[in-house]
Structure 1
């Protein structure tokens, strides 16, 4: 027993009333009443008196309190501040417990409710799972640097620049999620990594599209009444994306309007709204033909189950050795609107389901221009079916 130490006993710790009781060597028992109390170690650190808590008597017994006090005294003899050293060890432990892969999973679990279909398709998170987490998943998020990010993603710069961009954006959200939970992370790590990676030398490629002038010939070739042919015809006539079209249900059509539910729109789920598509006479005729194929109300079912896949229409065009792809018909329609009509920009963009204008304009706009779009879509159908497509005069949207 060290001289002047170990003055207390376990019985005294249990039974002593409120007060302060010294065990020696700077270790004190501080009791607020008979049953509660805590251990405090008094130390002179660099000439300044410090008080270091060692835990409550409910969690730390007398023997363990003496061991903890001894360890702190050893740190002090070695020339370090035991309180700061303990804080450093806690930070190290926290870093090792919050690996990037775990923080990313925790972030996605909360974020996916904002995504279409709750992100079940996996595409939103895949830039991280494929290109970041295999390399950096076991790195503590607090230790993640711009150099780590640059090394992981720079190989994509000139081969998959869009994938790289998405990976950086998603990683930035993960890091901000970590910061919101109080972790010591570098919020500028992604921005710094972008600067280190540099600008891609690859120009973005647009989805191949048919010229609007060539659309009528292709439309005429889709005449066998199969699900694929009818789906492509309606895709062309409406300018819709393939996702909403493939999941078109009889209940979505009322009169000459197809209402696409918000959950099928490309926008974030918490931002999306139902979108109305005016149907031309030709589009209504296509829908009527498609009803004979309907299964469970869906107009474009697959051969086995569910609806036709996104690739089904594309494969038809591939077999014909065409460069254009189904999504490109949206570009064909947009070019026709620009070159063959005087449709205001806001109306033309709304035809494709885009929201044009700045934040203030969008906040105050309460129209979807459906009457103006109805005229345009009827004229587009006239062009698509080979009956001409002269300039359409519209009232200004302003």
Structure 2
């Protein structure tokens, strides 16, 4: 038992069921079904470990002895051979890691930070549409600024915002690769920007109706359809499309609608819910919407889920408007600035914007609910054509 090479090739071929030792911890385990497995027993840090070396059909006696010698030498250095083999397998796998593979891995790691775990797919889309087709198969360690420049050049000026997002995603992927000890150049995106030059694209604001014209549009939505009611509540509350479309009855308590944190647009570090005060007109719209609800969702789609952004945009287009539904947030913000004396921090909170420094926000323990309630009631009166005067914000009790 203490010696080595106790078995022979002929014995291995005809070995009976059981465990047969070749010496120095190498064993052949013969099974009842006729199969057999090479197993190496080693002691590491005072604990015995059994390490499979493969099937005797795939690994000859000679090769099994060679593998056993190799892993025994690893164990003698105080290294767990099983963990070492797993480590080498990971490194071998990463040796030819492509940009696309690392990007998908980075996306998985980033999902908890994204709204709805990134299910909408918008985080990946700039890469899928403009980067993966050209750079996806390149090993990430070989990626350089010329590769990135060539991939983004076709959209650098024509689709500047998409190109900017793609560049940002590439930077995140490279940092993820670096965290795995891959030899990547973290300056690739900055170098690529220098090669691409300054974009000629001029950002355009989302078209919005002037606040003085919003009442006539609002009052045109007389038919109590799902789309009209959703548009009315969107205008009345000033929220973004996503939480509006996914509003559920269980989020409403009296005259307050509480938007869950995962429906809030990605404000870094924001994990809290957001309370929306509901005006009398907003409560009326919600009551009119209740007969349409499915599983509590007030604005269900005729097919599946809830209505889409395109449904709301289509409504405006059919009425001959170039403006977008999201633009009503701008209409509301301009009304707040021009027709009220509300403080900036209250106005910004209405739109779920972060205002002030991090220190100011840390000490500000209010969401201005009562002040916002007054303003949103007056906004609804404006929409109904009941008020043309400047709104004076009353002090909250």
2:133 corresponds in structure 1 to: 134
Q: CA deviation at 1:200?
A: 1.1
1:165 corresponds in structure 2 to: 164
2:242 corresponds in structure 1 to: 243
Note the 1:116-135 alignment, pairs <5 A: 116-135=115-134
Cα separation, partners in 2 of 1:183 and 1:217, compared to 1, 3 Å? same
Q: CA deviation at 1:250?
A: 1.1
Q: What is the distance in 2 between the residues matched to 1:35 and 1:167?
A: 51
Largest Rg, 1 or 2: 1
Cα separation, partners in 2 of 1:35 and 1:291, compared to 1, 3 Å? closer
1:21 corresponds in structure 2 to: none
1:87 corresponds in structure 2 to: none
Counterpart contact for 2:238–2:328, Cα < 8 Å: yes
Q: What is the distance in 2 between the residues matched to 1:250 and 1:60?
A: 66
Q: What is the distance in 2 between the residues matched to 1:229 and 1:241?
A: 16
Q: CA deviation at 1:247?
A: 1.1
Counterpart contact for 1:382–1:388, Cα < 8 Å: yes
2:295 corresponds in structure 1 to: 296
1:225 corresponds in structure 2 to: 224
Classify the secondary structure of the residue corresponding to 1:212: coil
Classify the secondary structure of the residue corresponding to 2:262: helix
Q: CA deviation at 1:390?
A: 2.0
Note the 1:8-19 alignment, pairs <5 A: none
Gaps of 5+ in 1: 1-9, 17-33, 37-55, 66-91
Counterpart contact for 1:128–1:167, Cα < 8 Å: yes
1:183 corresponds in structure 2 to: 182
TM-score by length of 1: 0.76
Classify the secondary structure of the residue corresponding to 1:203: coil
Q: CA deviation at 1:362?
A: 2.1
Q: What is the distance in 1 between the residues matched to 2:261 and 2:153?
A: 36
Classify the secondary structure of the residue corresponding to 1:211: coil
Counterpart contact for 2:170–2:189, Cα < 8 Å: yes
Cα separation, partners in 2 of 1:359 and 1:396, compared to 1, 3 Å? farther
Instruction: Write out per-residue CA displacement over residues 121-148 of structure 1, whole angstroms, 9 at most, x where no aligned residue.
Output: 2111111111111101111111111111
Cα separation, partners in 2 of 1:136 and 1:392, compared to 1, 3 Å? same
Q: CA deviation at 1:109?
A: 1.5
Gaps of 5+ in 2: 6-21, 25-41, 45-63, 74-90
TM-score by length of 2: 0.76
